[in-house]
Structure 1
Amino acid sequence: MKSAFTLLKESVNSRTRAQYSAICGVSVAVIEALAAELVGHGKKAAVITYRGAVKHTNGLYNQLAIQHLNTLIGNYDWKGGCTAGAGGLGGNTSGAVSLAFNGGPPVSGIRIDRAMSFYEESGALFTGYPAKRPWFPFGTQGNYQELIPSIEDGYPYPIKVLITYWNAIPYSVPALRPVWERVMAETALPEVVPATAKVPLFVAISPVMGEVAAWADYILPDSTYLEKFAVPGIPWRVNKGTSFQRPVVGAFDDKAIGSLTGAGNRIADATNNYTPALSDTKAVADIHIGLAKALGLPGVGINALGTGRNLNNAWDWAKAMLDNIAFNASSKYAGLTRDEILAKGGVFDNPGEEYSGDLAGSTPNPNGPYLAYKYGNVIRLFVDPVARTRDSVTGRYYAGVPQYVAPAHSDGTLVNDGTGFPMKLITFKVVHHGQARTAVSPWLMLMSPENYVEISAADGSRLGVETGDRVRVTSASNTAGIVGKAKVTQGLKPGVVAISHHFGHWELGSRPHTVNGVQTGFDPSRGAGIHPGTVMRRDRRSANVPLQDPIGASCSYYDTWVQVRRV
């Protein structure tokens, strides 16, 4: 019998500082100096990660190790320490109006990506180890990269219809373009769909002819972010706040938003409907409501949200969210109205209410040593559910404490592509772009018309490459590779290749298409640059999916070895 702390300590001490230094390429002296600096501030220090740490095949253990630096400091719920966030005011869940959906069919069965299901509990699908494809019982956010490969393999079942919204699957997922195009090429609407089709019907909800929508049988034109109602999350707040996003272009009751007057363009409660700026588009909520009505489904229409509360359009839903926010904030802000929430863009606690002098309570005290909104819950050094679970491919039990596990394929084989691919590929997002969508902005593309293959000055000298030279980047999964312009910099470690996201689109309106017999417009600047995902490493066993974390279900963006050569 061992304590959880003992298990953690043994895992950490399974390697020496020198061994950890060799793994990460940071000297022992620097590691020790950083550790001393971290603990030198008492509880007024915190270590926070975002997606980079988990986008590896060992992502969960990376995150646990980093998170427990906060545990060892003991900084949870202290000013300057680690916070779980104060949360919001429940606009889209509960309050004055119940937004629970009633009357729909129950959700049951195993997801196509096998997230949140245990292989051993899958009935006839359990045939011992290895499983045909990996299972992800802890993938609470789903497994994006497994969707199309699982459809291709028909595992755990074939599908009949695919409906997509707000994504760029073959662009965003490493190494997936050929898989996507192979799967989609078998569908032939409006001709007869062949029996071999993996996706007999494909409907895309999209504002652009992107890498996904370009293959759809039917495209339902979505509105843009400037034409939506939403309650975006604010996870970093240490006092309560709920933001509210509203359209800034388009029309309410056929009156253009720019022509409305009074109190800063506020929306009158009497407004019945909102329409986007382009008449042939709809907000996604209106698309769903319209489809539900056409199919005669429950949960929409007259009194759908309670007596006198209709759900005929997105604005009906938005008004219910506004009323819920006002209701949930009423104890602090009595008489709060929809117009006030709209004018402020939400409801937010005042500065100075983040801290408390009470360890057990939340009475505001700007000079207090504690956070007013506390986590106040269990910290698990040993994650028992993980330790009780077997890897669905190898059959081995996972560890319940963080440990160093070298990047590996799903069968446990280490990611080692030999001396032919000596450099590590990384990717990143530049500050003036967002994910896969912002190449549609001509102003942003003017700021930086293309991206680069960025390498260190030392590697540039070794390879005979200067900024502006054309270079080819290849990997074991893509020996043809990609060709782009080099950028030599002192800001990278030797042996590392960095290629940003956002660029290198092959669709997104960068070339014309014919829709309903009419050729679309296009802007070739949207396709400028190169896309690093096309050379990222595929899994050794399941060759139609990239490397991925078997526990956390994240996709790997940082475990690919490449070769760079001047063209």
Structure 2
Amino acid sequence: THLVRTDEMVFLAPEDAGLEVPPVPEDEDEEPQFVVMTDGGPALHSQTEAGQLEVDTRVNGIPVKSVLTLLRERAQEKTLEEYAELAGISVADIVELADELTSHGKKAAVEFYRGPVQHTNGYYTAQALITLNLLIGNVDHKGGLMVGGGHWHEEGDKAGPYNLKELHPGKLTKFGVPINREGKKYDKSTLFDRDGGFPAQRPWYPLTSNVYQEVIPAAGAAYPYPIKALWVHMGTPALSSPGGHAQIAILKDPTKIPLFIYTDIIIGETSMYADYIFPDITYPERWATPHTSPDVLTKISKFRQPTVAPIPEEVEVDGELMPICLETAFIAIAKKLGLSGFGLGGFGEGGDFTRPEDWYLKMAANLAFGDKEDGSQTLPAASTEEMAVFSAARGHLPPSVFDEAKWKAAVGEEMWPSVVYFLNRGGRFLAADKGYDGDMV
């Protein structure tokens, strides 16, 4: 229902519609305001319950259309026969699938995961797929599209005992434009004036993130700047990226990527071109805090932890024995370079950072504490019996992985019993019956 001015193809600004935006309270963040059309004329979307779906009119002399009208017009630019030819399928298949999708009320959904969107224009494909859900009005309805239950926050920036974003003495902050131009607007960068405005030399991605497939090609083109080093972890872009084979020439060219480092569990399709490969550990051997997908309706926080002895050899870093992996390499290199945030007092008042679990167990403590500042979400303390189960279940792990005294020291005496309770369960999980409220999420 949001109105777009079609002379500039931007959302109609409230001031252009003669509308006044109310001031934002000091304790609230400013939210963008959109204009919709009602029976009484233009109104702010935040001040009306509903707007007209189909709009093609003028507001103060400005030509405007609703988003739905623009979408319908765009969809009807081609016939079903033309779309079928472009897609390589029959008209009958399109009609059958459309009938099936729209024959179940709100108990139908269009979702995707990787396949349909794993290419350079994947973001826009995703937008088109998500829009199908909006057209049948299924968002937050049982059987429809939903965002999922979410998770508790492991970095401690909500309320946890260890705010990992702040516990870093001498912390440096990121700056500038990422090599893949994600999350940045070309016309808001200094490169816009330097390069003479539009068109940009390569696409920019202001609305999306994790544009994995653009990193190496951007380095090859030295745009927006040349790079001096590339470190790849948990990926093989030469195999998995669109046109990945074409990236090999860039990886082999030291004038494009002077230093190429990899952490990998094998000498793989991409790591075979690296200057240095650090061995890494696999999912049963490592720590991680994987978030859940939106199909899970209740709040959960999974926690991956070592369950088997690691295959790579052990190494010693300043007297600490640990399996070689990405985190071990980072710790060793950071300490060698004297970087802040590592070693004794690496977390400031939060303690030392000499082992991978010093980081990950603080995340476990934050999750065990929950997101309420008053501590009301803190998980129960493990009983004596649970403590015994915890220790016995990890007795097969080498001391380089499981040293109970070091694990306990990483989170402190107070949080340790709740952390054990959390680790024994592999995370924390809201009851499944909390997912629905009648026919709504």
Q: Same fold (TM over 0.5)?
A: yes
Q: In the alignment, residue 157 of structure 1 is paired with which amino acid?
A: Y
- Equivalent residue in structure 1 for 2:204, among 125, 128, 135: 135
Q: How does 1:35-434 map to 2 (within 5 A)?
A: 35-55=98-118, 59-94=122-157, 95-101=160-166, 102=168, 103-123=170-190, 124-142=193-211, 144-180=212-248, 182-187=249-254, 197-235=255-293, 236-250=295-309, 275-276=322-323, 282-328=324-370, 331=376, 334-336=379-381, 337-356=418-437, 368-371=438-441
- The number of equivalent residue pairs is 324
Q: Unaligned 5+ residue runs, structure 2? A: 1-63, 311-318, 382-417
Which residue does 1:471 correspond to in 2? none
Contact 2:289 2:302 in 1 (8 A): yes
- 1:4-28 C-alpha deviation (Å, 9 max, x unpaired): 2211222222223333333334444
Counterparts in 2 of 1:353 and 1:19: CA distance versus 1, 3 Å: same
Q: Classify 1:317/1:80 alpha carbon distance in 2 versus 1 (closer, same or farther; 3 Å).
A: same
What letter corresponds to residue 427 of structure 2 in structure 1? G
Contact kept in structure 1, 2:123 and 2:208, CA below 8 Å: no
The one-letter code sitting in structure 2 at the alignment partner of 1:285 is E
Match of 1:31 among 88, 91, 94: 94
Aligned-pair distance for 1:75? 1.4
| In 2: Cα distance, 1:62 partner to 1:162 partner | 29
Shift of 1:149: 2.6
CA contact (8 A) 2:380 2:421 kept: no
Contact 1:97–1:305 (CA<8 Å) still a contact in 2?
A: no
Identity across the alignment (%) = 37
Partners of 2:80 and 2:420 lie apart in 1 by 59
Structure whose residues are more often helix by fraction: 2
* Residue 332 of structure 1, CA deviation: 5.1
Instruction: Tell me how far 1:119 sits from its aligned partner.
Output: 2.8
- Is the contact between residue 165 and residue 206 of structure 1 (CA under 8 Å) also seen in structure 2? yes
TM-score by length of structure 2 reads: 0.66
Specify the alignment match of 1:18 in structure 2.
81
8 Å CA contact 2:229–2:260 kept in 1: the answer is yes
Q: Which AA in structure 1 matches 2:165?
A: A
Task: Tell me, yes or no, if the aligned pair for 1:274 and 1:314 is still in contact at 8 Å.
Answer: no
Inter-partner Cα distance in structure 2 for 1:134 and 1:318:
36
Contact kept in structure 1, 2:285 and 2:307, CA below 8 Å: yes
Specify whether residues 176 and 223 from structure 1 end up closer, same or farther in structure 2 by C-alpha distance, changes over 3 A only: same
Say what the alpha-carbon RMSD is for the aligned residues. 2.7
**Alpha-carbon distance change, 178 to 16 in structure 1, aligned in 2, over 3 angstroms:** closer
- Partners of 2:98 and 2:270 lie apart in 1 by 46
Q: TM-score, normalised by structure 1?
A: 0.52
Inter-partner Cα distance in structure 1 for 2:217 and 2:363? 37
Deviation for aligned residue 1:97: 0.9
Q: Which runs of 5+ in 1 are unaligned?
A: 188-196, 252-271, 277-281, 357-367, 372-567
Q: Could you list the per-position Cα deviations for residues 110-135 of structure 1 after superposition, in whole angstroms to 9, with x for gaps in the alignment?
A: 22223333333343542344433333
1:297 deviation in Å? 1.4
Deviations 1:18-58 (Å, cap 9, x if unpaired)? 33333334444443343333233222221112223224565
| 8 A contact 1:145–1:173 mirrored in 2 | yes
Q: Aligned letter for 2:81?
A: A
| d(CA) in 2 for partners of 1:104, 1:303 | 13
Is the Cα contact below 8 Å between 1:273 and 1:315 reproduced in 2? Answer: no
Q: CA deviation at 1:159?
A: 1.9
Structure ranking higher on relative contact order (CA contacts 8 Å, 6+ apart): 1
